[in-house]
Amino acid sequence: MPVTTTKSSLADIEAEGLVLGVYAELPLPGPAAEFDRLSGGTLTSLFEAKEISGKKGDVTTLLAPQGVKTRTVVVVGLGPQNSLDRGTAYRASAAAAKSLSSKERGKVVFALADQWSAELVEAAVCGSVVGCVGQDIYRAKKSRFPLANIVWAGVDDAAAERGAILGEGVNLTRRLVNEPPSDMYPESFAAAARKVAAATGLAIEVWDAARLESERCGALLAVARGSVKPPRLVILRYQGAAADKPLLALVGKGVTFDSGGLSIKPTDGMKTMKCDMAGAATVLGAMQAIAQLKLPVNVIGLCGLVENMISGDSYKLGDVLRARNGKTIEVLNTDAEGRLVLADVLDVCVQENPARIVDLATLTGACVVALGNDVAGLMTNDEAWCGAVKSAADTCGEPMWQLPMFPEFGEQIRSEVADIKNVGDGRWGGAITAAKFLEEFVAGKPWVHIDIAGPSFLEGAKPWLDAGGSGFGVRTLVELAARGV
């Protein structure tokens, strides 16, 4: 959606909606103070009467306000001024955009920025692009209407452009996750990736089933066997620096639907399993943004794509698989399939000789039990690299928390029949034993695994975002790339 800027005063702006920000305490910030003067002290009186709190994300709508040429003014809380950060700016702007998206609107002006840094502006603009987009992509009667014309007042043009690019990357990820599995399967995901590559100049390579067979991707292919939809591996390359500069690798799990296989999920557990490709979708959204931002870094994105279904040829409990790196894997649960897909994709990644690896996956319900629905789990073989990933996430306001990777967890995946098995000993520490499994395939490269099973898909709406795919992780990956490898 188009995002433009204006330097006009609020008195001269004509729009269908105007968004203002207020802090948790007076005095009012610049744009809000200007509106207050034009409207005869409206905001001050509402603030003093506690009708407006300034609490983070609180939205108050004023209809037919005096002093400006707009039908609606939305006032959104920014919290305490001294604690304003990118996460707050993103969510506040998104909450305002969401509140205005309940009906079709043309021009909406956002006047939140009050001498903000370029980074704060980028985050807020990103939020304005994301918040007004819903999951109702197949509804005849829409519940969300993307804002037709977003205008940001008093901000730098370049910062606004970067924020819009980031928002479109997040929305791409959300749309892919929200597509039904009848339309989003390995081949169609690969087709979507080809379109992104063509539009942004990314180099793309797609491995079909025959190529995967010739490359000895036995773990990934075993998961795919039960489906009539053939698997794919998508490899995207972006070169923004000299060829001899370090390479950052982003790896995503792309199980476009997960029935659980023969270890079949119950109905309630299967309802949202179209989201099991969120890791791959996050990588694609981030790669689109990285290319459009022309970041001075080299990045490779790899997406392993399968359906985990049931048929007479489904892989079975007790099977022993041979992964691409030669390790043998005893299968004790066909619903622990994402790690099998990533095993081979990580080995392909390693052969590209990246300096650093990040993988993202909706890998375990155990991580949701440990950290809840809003926090992703971090697991690593390199503390410095994990610290860099967490720093990028904290800066963006995408909550992540590190879980321990003690050697004892690795002992739980040792098999009596094969080299390793695809589950640990019982339910406990399941997110960590899954990560220890993945560690077997990174060949000692600095690597961080992000389990996004909780925050990648919202089963209920948030004040700043509709239910469904959240795009969680896109902003962190782009921030990480922007900082260099």
Active-site positions read 265, 339
Q: d(Cα 352, Cα 299) in Å, to the nearest integer?
A: 11
Tell me the two tokens of residue 317.
């409990």
Work out the burial of residue 168: count CB atoms within 10 Å of its CB; fewer than 13 is exposed, 13-18 middle, 19 or more buried: buried
